[in-house]
Homo-oligomer: A and B are copies of this chain.
Amino acid sequence: MPPDRMPPLSLPLIDAARAFLAGRVRRTPLEESPALSKALGVPARLKRESLQVTGSFKIRGAFFRLSLLSAEEKRAGIATCSAGNHGKAVAYAARAFGLVPTIFVPASVDESKYRAMVSLGAEVVRSRFPGYDETEEWALSEAKRAGRVWVSAFDDPAIMAGNGGTLALEILEEFPEARAFVLPVGGGGLAAGLSYAVSERAPGATIVGCNHERSPALALSLERGEAVTRLPAADTAAGGIEGGIGAKPFEVLRSRIARVALVSEEEIFEGVRWMLAEHRYLIEPSAAAAVAACLTGKVGRVDGPAVVVITGRNVSLETLRRVLA
């Protein structure tokens, strides 16, 4: 389906994503965390999307998005830009459809993610730019030149519905008491889909987005009243939350997000260490942003049962060594 004919984000679109994904991706566990419950003062659960196929939630949106491609679009081929997880998800889903995607990645891409995309058979092109936004701008022009269909990592209703919408429905089915959601925010696809579904199905629940303090796209966008879609490259191991926010996700988020917690690189590293020490799960730095917000109290006051979305586990040994050093 061409991007200009894509329907807007809606519950029916989320339901369609759910139906398509059933049996194709995992229903990930929602696990109690006594330690986070203590830290937050309310019953807290981890949505362990880090156990998802491809190691992150991104497969939900990517798989659903590719299922909407027309035969003509498939012939033209697809291209995308990713800090890693979306790219890995696109590579995985594309293989299921017999496609070889072109995936543009920042020069700073995590090595484990880079290798995973290559081994899934994708054509991976490393840009000369360290950050996401400049890489994407270049990738868009390259993809256009080659006549490829662009698959945005977040600025697309199907991606929002798949990534965040289906995740929210899963959580609410199992834990309808949830009154607060804490999650990392980068381009905003996950947060937009989740907050949309939550506002429809559990109105009044609080959604706290977590930004890296060096790349606070959501916080700045709320301040300015418009989407900050580009930011200078930030030096961080949390590539998934580096860069600007999508215009479409921000339109959904602006009225639905309660507040933004800004966390530092060191707090994120501490979140990775904490998860290893407390639960003995490996999570990636981007995912740890939400944990960090809870541990530092930056998440703010939480009034009811909370869900902390653990978005992924794709981290290289090199990065893990730095985190533990």
User: Is A321 an interface residue when CB atoms closer than 8 A count as contact?
Assistant: yes
| Distance of A315 Cα from B325 Cα, bound (Å) | 16
| Structural contact, A320 and B324, CB atoms closer than 8 A | yes
Given A324-B320, A324-B321, A324-B324, does the pair A315, B112 have CB atoms closer than 8 Å?
A: no
A324: chain B residues at CB < 8 Å are 317, 320-321, 324
| Structural contact, B321 and A277, CB atoms closer than 8 A | no
User: Is A273 an interface residue when CB atoms closer than 8 A count as contact?
Assistant: yes
Partner of A276, one of B273, B277, B280, B317: B317
Q: How far in angstroms is the closest Cβ of chain B from A216?
A: 28
User: Is A281 an interface residue when CB atoms closer than 8 A count as contact?
Assistant: yes
User: Is A316 an interface residue when CB atoms closer than 8 A count as contact?
Assistant: yes
Q: How far in angstroms is the closest Cβ of chain B from A268?
A: 16
Q: How many copies does the complex hold?
A: 2
A89: chain B residues at CB < 8 Å are none
| Residue ID in chain B nearest A324 by CB atoms | B321
| Distance of A325 Cα from B56 Cα, bound (Å) | 27
User: Is A55 an interface residue when CB atoms closer than 8 A count as contact?
Assistant: yes
| Distance of A316 Cα from B278 Cα, bound (Å) | 9
Q: How far in angstroms is the closest Cβ of chain B from A76?
A: 30
* Given A112-B280, A276-B317, A320-B324; 17 other pairs, CB 8 A cutoff: A55-B280, A112-B277, A273-B317, A276-B282, A276-B320, A277-B316, A277-B317, A280-B282, A280-B313, A280-B314, A280-B315, A281-B282, A282-B282, A317-B324, A321-B324, A321-B325, A324-B324
A interface residue numbers (CB < 8 A to B)? 55, 112, 273, 276-277, 280-282, 313-317, 320-321, 324-325
